[in-house]
Amino acid sequence: MEVKIGVQYAPREIVLESAQTAEEVEKAVAEALSGKTELLTLVDDHGRKVLVPAGKLAYVELGEPTARKVGFSAL
């Protein structure tokens, strides 16, 4: 699943591919925003952890990965 995270005062968003389900990511975001945890913690496909302070979250966008087109065919 593709996750995009907007961070306040950061010019670029964080984009990662995660094996976590949409429900797991949504639960982690809800816990961070409600104050249960101080960090939003997600794990990407390579096993790396992404930690974002909950107070700096601007938005979180969940979506399916887009298939990348390969080749030089006409559109």
CATH for 12: 2.30.30
The DSSP output letter for 55 is G
Asked if residue 69 belongs to a domain, the reply is: no
Whether the predicted pLDDT of 10 surpasses 70:
yes
| Better pLDDT: 73 or 19 | 19
pLDDT of the residue at 65:
63
Whether the predicted pLDDT of 67 surpasses 70:
no
Q: Can you give the residue range of the structural domain that contains 13?
A: 2-63
pLDDT of the residue at 64:
78
For residues 49-59, give the mean pLDDT. 94
For residues 15-24, give the mean pLDDT. 90
Total residues found in the chain within this entry: 75
Asked if residue 68 belongs to a domain, the reply is: no
Asked if residue 17 belongs to a domain, the reply is: yes
Asked if residue 16 belongs to a domain, the reply is: yes
Asked if residue 73 belongs to a domain, the reply is: no
Asked if residue 70 belongs to a domain, the reply is: no
Question: How many domains is the chain built from?
Answer: 1
Give the C-alpha distances (Å, rounded to integers) separating 23 from 27, 33, 53.
6, 15, 20
Whether the predicted pLDDT of 70 surpasses 80:
no
